Amino acid sequence: PGHSKGVNCLKFFTREGRQYLITGSDDCTAKIWDLQNKSCIHTLETMSPITSVVSLPDAPYLITGSKNHSVHVWSSTDFRLERIVNFGGGMWSGSDDLGRVHSLVGCLVGSRRYGS
């Protein structure tokens, strides 16, 4: 099933040769869609409407930003929640500047590989 409220953001990403789409919604979920099978394969749940999604092409993370000032870092391989960080302001858009995104992910997950 799809989202129960409006979709605020989306991002295409590829993992292991397969194409996916992540969508973020006012229903407080992000959904992972398998484009080959045209089906939702996983739902990521948060406590607030999702306003931004970011995929890293060479790192195993997806990032969602929410209206409640939180950023969630998820594994893009098994979709497990890795970390939640709360900021003083909401995240309304993601960046495709990979250097900055990698620095943010390195700070959030404590990885030297993605933080340098």
> Along the 116 residues of the chain, how does pLDDT read in single tens digits?
799 999 999 999 988 889 999 999 999 999 999 999 999 999 999 999 999 898 877 788 899 988 888 889 999 989 999 999 887 655 555 555 545 544 455 555 554 444 43
Contact between 31 and 2 (Cβ < 8 Å): yes
Q: For residue 20, how many C-alpha atoms fall within 13 Å in the half-sphere facing its CB?
A: 25
The domain that holds 105 is classified in CATH as: 2.130.10.10
pTM of the model: 0.77
- For residues 99 and 18, give the distance between their C-alpha atoms in angstroms, rounded to a whole number: 24
111: in domain:
yes
Domain count for the chain: 1
64: in domain:
yes
99: in domain:
yes
Which domain, by its residues, includes 83? 7-115
- Tallying the residues shown for the chain, one arrives at 116
What is the chain's alpha carbon radius of gyration, rounded to the nearest angstrom?
A: 13
2: in domain:
no
66: in domain:
yes
